Structure 1
Amino acid sequence: MNIVVEGGAPAPEGLVDAVLAYESALAADDLDALASAFEHGPHPLRGDRNGLLIGHERITGFRSRRGGAGPRDVLELRIHLAGDDAAHVTTVNAPSSGGRGLVTQLWRRGADGAWRIVAAHVTAPSPALDPRIWRVLGVPLVAGAGEGPLAGETVAVKDLFAIAGQRIGVGVKAYLAEAPVEDENAPAVQALLDAGADVLGIAQTDQFAYSVAGLNPDYGTPPNAVVPGAIPGGSSSGPASAVALGQASIGLGSDTAGSIRVPASYQGLWGLRPTHGAVSLERVAPLAPRYDTAGWLTRDGETMRRVAAVGLAGRDAVAPAPGFLAAPAAMMSCARGVRDAFDAALATLAGAGVRPLPVDVPALDDMLLAFRLTQSAEAWRADGPWVEAHPGALAPDVQERFDFARDVTPEQEADALADAGLLAARLDLELGDRILLVPSTASAAPRLDADEAELESRRRATLSITAIAGLTGRPALSVPVLDTPDGPVGLCLVGPRGSELALVDAGLALAAILRNPGETSFGHTV
């Protein structure tokens, strides 16, 4: 290792040892040593290609689910002094996986004589493929028609959809190993290809798509492109991260209980769950067919409009009735920051003549219970035999859901189906043909170091809202216009069945008002 100090001066006592100790802790994924290497308090910084983390707590939390940096050799260490007790350090490293990495750090000596990092920027070797996001990647993987309304667009396809010549992996390595090679594209994939889009690759999903977190122990957790150190949202996590990072322009995903709307909300994307049955699920691995839908993620509403027009071609479009609705009861499960952002959005819309009428919806707990029981019973029928034959293949949280699903009795399912039917009928009566406005998720993206209890609590709170569209089979669109102190949250538009294109048009109009208050107005008032 080559060590160079500015001006040829000796290195400050203990600094080189501190830098090398930090490198060792990275290789060993020693979380305690890594935490102690950074100054405590709200001011330390750590940045990489995924964004900037601010504060010791955020930096420490980010490492909890990341895994170590892996073995690497430090080739060069350069020190620029900044007084007696501070130094700017640059290291060049050679990871065992290949390439060269660069790390720059500002170190400061404390009153106890120990050197600690104040700010760091990490430049890792550029991977040809980030396995957290992509399982298979091409240039492209499948070329589209070359012309059409989606020419020039690139698609990240969730690992549930068949692509000719590839296997479906459902986010589980053991499943992938046994899966047959597909001989045809899923119709939902083929529609995008026929419209001119290229399929760039197969993107990751939560195991069996049975989560809304985006965590995957087999491949790693995709990064949240807009909230560093937070979960990406799932189960369409791979397509969402690929789109949010600019690696693809369209994500093709599925939404059973919120698996498009949740990652869209957490990563500032447009996400559309179409009317149940509107998009073919042929050659798509099922989770719960009663609720499964195929839909899309994009970075802007105009692209979503073109994608939806292609994906829903040939279906009759429904125009919602004028006006909007809001459900005060749906806010009960939301975090304070989400409630404040939603209320602020309603106030801005009111200034432009958009005043949603309050509507009464069934109790959130009743909707969640009916949805959970019926979804679980279907999930066990669809995937339970494989799960039972492969003990130990799944993450504990996903396995726990399948264990619950296995134990749902026929009598419980029958009762839950009856309840779901009654709840759906009441929702249809209350909502009619108008568009309901609710938050897409009950909170912004939880942090990577959130414990299982917190993740489950936020999951249940969010699913109690997303169940409105699930139980009724209505389309739902997440629009990235709500800002909270913890990150973005989507504004969700739930419309009458068949109103997808009108939802996107309404979303574009509402987004224009919320982004430019006082400069735009809506076409009608309530």
Structure 2
Amino acid sequence: MTERMPRPHAAGDGEVPVFLPDGVEAPAGLVEAALGYEAALMADDLESLAEYFAPGPDTLRGDEGGLLVGHDTITRFRGRRGGAPQRRIEALHVRPIDDDHAWLAAVTAPLGGGRGLVGQLWERRDGAWRISAAHVSAPPRAMDPRVWRVVGDPLLGPTGSGPLDGHTIAVKDVIAVEGFALGAGVPAYLAGAAPAPRSAPVLDALRAAGASVRGIAQTDQFAYSIAGRNAAYGTPPNPAVPGAISGGSSSGPASAVAMGHATIGLGTDTAGSIRIPASYQGLWGLRTTHGAISVDGVLPLAPSFDTVGWLTRDGETLAAVTRAAFERMPQQRVDAVRLATAALELPALDAPALVLAPALADSATPEVTRAFAAGLDALRSSGGRVDVLDDDALVAGALDELYEAFRTVQAAEAWAQHGSWITAHPGALGEDIAARFAWAASVTADAEAAARERLAVARTALDAALGDAVLVLPSAASVAPPVDAAGAEIEAIRAATLRITTVAGATGRPALSVPGLMAGGAPIGVCFVGPRGTDLGLVERAQEWATALKHG
């Protein structure tokens, strides 16, 4: 039986068809509550919406971005998203369970086109109907502009066959793709860019091994951020932690891989831009040895530290990409380092992994410190030897010098690369990136020179302390912060995280973020920093370490 009940809703007054099984009546007040909730949603009435959802930690709301658990989490999500897309209710299907519980399915018609579906479990508490669980299915997107700038099926096919047959690549929008302009996450920069005459050699190497290009993925503006928030295009979703930032600046490739849109994220890492999104989203991510992979065709940020790297969902794929890239890259570019294909012999779990206690105490949040300590215990219980550097004071001082000198040199080089364009295009950048470049513009030549001297001293001290050992650290100082975290909070997390990540950036060492730990219900990566030129050996050994972390 179909019952038609006139009810007002946000798109205007009209009749909403309400469908029930034959002989079944809708519980009193339920349909009114459902349509009242819809009206509040369309009006972005946050106070009323909070009342419509059942209180307590067990309330659920899911959509394409993942599952939100708890009334407070759901309320916070609503407050930061700026309202829901306008829609009409086309039909409401009611399936009563008992006098105080019912399942509702609403067919929605977004004003922008398409059809969606909302499923809700309602329960009556103290005479009022409230939602205890909901799932929202929006019309499928052709492309999520937060993740992709352009996408194809494929965008570019493979040029050969090999170990990457069937794999797809999300290319960070600072790496040249033949026939497409490079945008660097900045609409005005994209508007003035010409199509690239050829792809970056690293992309050519992966295509020669059998991979195709799925598309060009978004990045933080000029890759000068580790947050993943882009003022022009939005924040790519983090499927591992719904409502949290994705991490940057390889944010688009990371999200594309985490969501299953691509199997390989091709990105860059200057100060942690691969390792941090890998940590936040539970991915594998490798920053290669500085200078080991050509950066031709890659938009520079700070050439003294810029590297190319990749993200994957598993270690086997990461190893295959690493092997393919090094085997197919011009070898004259890695004369100064040991080739990854002739990697240092590292005895599986017997190799000493050294943890810098000051970095943990001073930089990581307590929940990350606890999770990381548990990870070290898992390595030890699996037969691994985890040593602590004898001279903590030396290392702590070196880290302080490293961070301050690194950020100064990075800023000076970033301004040298992009300052002229930024000066000629006022207002083109988001507030956070504009502020970072404004500080970069203030770095004097004397300050840069002094920072380079300090950087060399700190690098020498760390090289002497580490030798050929593998350093183990948290990949980031915290789990992924909420999307609506204040700018000051993001900056504090950035400073704490960079104090850890710049160890690899400033020493030019390869660094690999491995998933396996959880902190506060969110993933946190373990970072293994190896001797220069040992990229492939590091990836291969880390697969054993990851097994130990998983079973610890």
TM-score (norm 1): 0.93
Q: Comparing 52-61 with 457-466, which one deviates more in the overlay?
A: 52-61
SS in 2 for 1:312: helix
1:366-381 correspondence to structure 2 within 5 Å: 366-381=401-416
Q: Is contact 1:25–1:34 with CA below 8 Å preserved after alignment?
A: yes
Give the C-alpha shift of residue 135 in structure 1: 1.0
Q: Which of 131, 140, 146 is equivalent to 1:126?
A: 140
The alignment's C-alpha RMSD in Å is 1.9
1:235-246 correspondence to structure 2 within 5 Å: 235-246=249-260
Q: Is contact 1:320–1:435 with CA below 8 Å preserved after alignment?
A: no
- CA change 1:345–1:118 in 2 (3 A) is same
Paired with 1:220 and 1:145, the residues of 2 have a C-alpha distance of: 33
Q: Is contact 2:269–2:287 with CA below 8 Å preserved after alignment?
A: yes
Paired with 1:417 and 1:8, the residues of 2 have a C-alpha distance of: 81
Paired with 1:486 and 1:240, the residues of 2 have a C-alpha distance of: 19
Give the C-alpha shift of residue 23 in structure 1: 3.0
Corresponding residue number in structure 2 for 1:524: none
- Listed one character per residue, the Cα deviations across residues 18-71 of structure 1 (whole Å, up to 9, x for unaligned) are 433433444454544443432232121001222211012222333444443322
Q: Which of 54, 65, 70 is equivalent to 2:85?
A: 70
TM-score (norm 2): 0.89
Corresponding residue number in structure 1 for 2:96: 81
Q: Which of 195, 198, 205 is equivalent to 1:191?
A: 205
Paired with 2:321 and 2:377, the residues of 1 have a C-alpha distance of: 31
Instruction: Give the partner amino acid of 1:199.
Output: V
Task: Choose 1 or 2 for highest CA Rg.
Answer: 2
Paired with 1:37 and 1:131, the residues of 2 have a C-alpha distance of: 31
Give the C-alpha shift of residue 6 in structure 1: 4.9
Gaps of 5+ in 2: 1-15
Paired with 1:31 and 1:367, the residues of 2 have a C-alpha distance of: 46
Q: Is contact 1:320–1:434 with CA below 8 Å preserved after alignment?
A: no
Paired with 2:231 and 2:36, the residues of 1 have a C-alpha distance of: 28
Q: Which of 349, 356, 359 is equivalent to 1:327?
A: 356
Gaps of 5+ in 1: 518-526
Paired with 1:213 and 1:406, the residues of 2 have a C-alpha distance of: 21
Q: Is contact 2:119–2:135 with CA below 8 Å preserved after alignment?
A: yes
Q: Which of 531, 539, 549 is equivalent to 1:504?
A: 539
Corresponding residue number in structure 1 for 2:379: 349
- Listed one character per residue, the Cα deviations across residues 184-207 of structure 1 (whole Å, up to 9, x for unaligned) are 111111111111100010011111
- Listed one character per residue, the Cα deviations across residues 75-116 of structure 1 (whole Å, up to 9, x for unaligned) are 0012233444443221101112222100011233443x5433
Paired with 2:42 and 2:422, the residues of 1 have a C-alpha distance of: 34
The answer on 1:299 being equivalent to 2:313 is yes
Corresponding residue number in structure 1 for 2:273: 259
Corresponding residue number in structure 2 for 1:144: 158
SS in 2 for 1:362: helix
Q: Is contact 2:165–2:209 with CA below 8 Å preserved after alignment?
A: yes
Q: Which of 363, 367, 370 is equivalent to 1:340?
A: 370
Corresponding residue number in structure 2 for 1:209: 223
Q: Which of 220, 228, 234 is equivalent to 1:220?
A: 234
SS in 2 for 1:144: coil
Q: Report the identity percentage.
A: 54
SS in 1 for 2:95: strand
Q: Which of 509, 524, 547 is equivalent to 1:489?
A: 524
Corresponding residue number in structure 1 for 2:396: 362
Q: Is contact 2:164–2:321 with CA below 8 Å preserved after alignment?
A: yes
Paired with 2:301 and 2:268, the residues of 1 have a C-alpha distance of: 10
Paired with 2:46 and 2:537, the residues of 1 have a C-alpha distance of: 49
Paired with 1:263 and 1:115, the residues of 2 have a C-alpha distance of: 40
- CA change 1:227–1:399 in 2 (3 A) is same
Q: Is contact 2:359–2:396 with CA below 8 Å preserved after alignment?
A: no
Paired with 2:415 and 2:297, the residues of 1 have a C-alpha distance of: 19
Corresponding residue number in structure 2 for 1:41: 56
Paired with 2:300 and 2:123, the residues of 1 have a C-alpha distance of: 54
Q: Is contact 2:202–2:325 with CA below 8 Å preserved after alignment?
A: yes
Give the C-alpha shift of residue 476 in structure 1: 0.2
Corresponding residue number in structure 2 for 1:165: 179
- CA change 1:26–1:278 in 2 (3 A) is farther
Q: Which of 438, 447, 455 is equivalent to 1:412?
A: 447
